Structure 1
């Protein structure tokens, strides 16, 4: 019975985060900027799940087109949902960095990790598709009992116009 209660509670949290994540309208990215929206979602994720979400940014808003920002936001949201739903993490570290001719967004958790055979799930395929649509590269690294890192990098010289 405790297991059922825990599963029900977990499902409620998942639904709450999913609604919260997708309630961020695309216009908020245009209005507030990608950095502010990611920071807000990180804080709200921590409040809703109790999992600390540490956010760092060294990013210039002017570098990326609006559509690229939206796809980065959706990748970020999917990665956080995966942390909440699968990782059993106690910490998430987020970095949005501007490096030489590229922007890199990384989401790293200290959860249970997953096996390579599980990389074709819909959410992961969706993240790969979004990264490809903005001429970006998505790299997912995971080790059992050591967590997962999701990193998307976008060459600022090749972003779609």
Structure 2
């Protein structure tokens, strides 16, 4: 059984953002984080889950993901994302990350548990600190290429 705790942050939304994740299996624990110069909170919430799943070394793991993001938890647990796929994500954001997530999701036995954010949950608070710190590390902020390309796309009149 593997537990993955996740959180995302963005200052300005959009603005500089980051993700944090803690993977736990028995007494083994690993922390992950990364930051981006321009992104959104929802993208970072979802990317934290993706990075956690990408860190798993073998398929068919039993995984519980703990997240304070209703956007992520409800999209999967209420099966909304599967309807979005059939409609090719029409009028939905973050298609690139959802498609990446779904590739990982099908490799494991994943369930989500929503936890209330900023409610003194130790792992959620730690993930929040990781995400915020990553978003503030100005020298190491990556480019969220898909987000920035979509954001800067010219609109047709």
TM-score (norm 2): 0.34
Greater helix percent: which structure?
1
Structure of higher RCO (CA pairs closer than 8 Å, 6+ residues apart)? 2
